[in-house]
Structure 1
Amino acid sequence: MNNLPVLADRLAKLFLIYSLFIAAIVIGIPSAIVLFHSDSADPGKNIVDTSLEKNVANPAKSESTAKRTTKSSPTPAPLHTLSFGWVTGNYSNLANYNNLQIVSPLFASIGASSPLKVETASPLISKMHGEGKKVWGRVTMEAQTSAATRQFLENPGRINQTAQEIGSNAVKSRMDGINVDIENIGANDRKAFMSFIVALSNALKPNHILLSVDLQPETGGVQNISSFNQVLNQYSDYVVFMGYDEHWATDPTPGPVTSLQWLKNNVQQFIKTGISAQKLLLGLPSYTRVWQVDANGATIQSQAVSSEDFNNLMLKEHHSGQWNSTTGTSYVSYSVGGKQYKAWLMNDQSLQSYLQLIQDYHLAGYGFWNLNLMSANNWNKLPNPG
């Protein structure tokens, strides 16, 4: 009878150990199964939190890991919007133009029958590079007439020679790009102009110099324009839509230099006829026109003035404009000395609506003709299109 307490104590201890063993089996095995299947379903789960460190330590391994762990398409990176401005003369006070990436000064001019004339001085290029800006040298005709352009393009040998001269001078001058600004190209001259662009592209590409081509809106219909635009799109890095002079200096009917609906229509047409949206840059004016009109509203004469200066003048004279959402401008009419004037003002709201087209159509960026007429203060007010 004296051994009964000892036996009972031993049985209690054995029961306790047995209970713990059973509990371990009941709880531990399912947990292990859950953990095993969880890790098997997503092998990268446990390394997600340390992926940033691995990106730095081993980029190749990180890329491989990302491919294994990504279960859906990655979010596209935001579009990189280019910003540029043309300048004339020796204008170079651009240090305070925030986010101005590219400057396009006159680089060379082509005579109808005379040798290429190189214009840009190297100090200007060095100054721009010192400010962290790229330089796209502008190439133009000495006379921007259809007759002069045709005379140049009629000579295939001259086309190739000029392209080579531009290429070699661009290298010597440390140009980042070339901007071709040749206007008034007739329908019969398009094929020859395409040959010039191909030759120029071939001269620039080996030296990693970009090529951009300025294009006016097509006013004579879109027949046969697609093949022309497709060649430009293929051999150019960028195409600049010159979105100004909707109403030109001698237009008999006054109107805005540019307007929202006109810009939109032409952007759509460029894309439809072969220019990639990702290569298309939206060129905007930094000027407006003041129109003197007769009693019937017809043009007597017009004068191009800085939009910024004219807006300030209208504000000073208390001339409030009437906003038009279709044109994206404010219309003003006033008289001075018995003479009647009209103007269409571009203000901050105008620029907001114009630059919105970059997001709407996924364009490459924007630029202004020209920065001589646009202060750093006004440039810095531009909305960020993306």
Structure 2
Amino acid sequence: MVLLMTLPGLALFYGGMVRRKNVIATITQSVAAFAVVTLVWFVAGYSIAFGVNPDEGLNRFIGSFDAVFLNGVTKDTAYSALPGIPEYLWISFQLTFAVITPALITGAFAERIKYSGLLLFIALWSLIVYAPIAHWVWGGGFLGAEGVLDFAGGAVVHVNSGVAGLVCALFLGARKGYGVVPITAHNPVLTMIGASLLLVGWIGFNAGSAGAADGLMSVALINTLLAAAAGSLSWKFIERIEKRKWSLIGVLSGVVAGLVAITPAAGFVDPKGAVIIGLIAGPVCYVSSVWLKKLLKYDDSLDAFGLHGAGGLVGALLTGVFATTAVNDLSADATVWAQFMGLVWTIVWSAIGTLIVLVICKYTIGLRVKEEVEDEGLDTHLHGEALEAS
């Protein structure tokens, strides 16, 4: 179900929002994330994120390399933190989280990146940025030890990808004509299909993170649905007030905003808290995606930061407010301060690591397509394919 979020969920969600000449290129980027990250996870990503470093001091920051190429893992081994779960199952489940995170970033630089540069970026970013942060929070690292609560990826996935996306958008610069000529979504219906698949896949994302079909899973499930609905409605009303319209993409963006915000909190808050988080996430993500982007004049093409960065920040902080021991005993340790510090560490490492990866890619393979390629469309030039003219 989590893999469904990337293929075809996110691929169609993003693909519907770009111009016709770049649809195939945008969808292909999600496929690239799956292919590259799967192999990187096998080679070293899993070991860095979830391996136990024999040096306790180093284990606070990075896992071991004992499980590179999945050495030592068999059908009979179990993941240490969840002894009832076969390790191959745990590896596969966490792989899907690792896949969608860089796939989300692609929304920030849609319609202007070279495919070869994208492949290198995803590989390096997964090892340098994603795997260490996953270890810090979920793999026995220092953030988890200091009480940072992140049930299914508010910081690890959404804030991480949102901040990385913002850095990428600033580094690559805006699309040609951005802010001067209209750049409109070619097919909001594709975006609706993609958002619907994201919603279904998100059940696996959040409820699956309970690790068992139990009461905690059921709370995470209902919280996911409630927050999505609340986020959609609150986004709708803000958009209606400002634009006097109820756009389909706006309605769907509100759904995603609620889903993002509830992700860190899904297994720590009760349903009332989930509704409040969703209601807050809608307007916050709207402001970030619409007003902030216009004010600061950066081109986050498909609102990777506007939705995932801002929504993840809101959700992570509100987890510290609404977490309750009636849902999860770990909520006893919840504080807004711990959540804030977890976000600071995530933001700083994501920003620095992403910038390093971008510099490496720029001065080796290159990142941005030539101006004539951007003018005519990435589909034909990079992939030799194009949608038929309507």
Asked if TM exceeds 0.5, the reply is no
Bigger strand share: 1
TM-score w.r.t. length of structure 2: 0.25
Q: Of the two, which has the highest radius of gyration?
A: 1
Give TM-score scaled by structure 1 length.
0.25
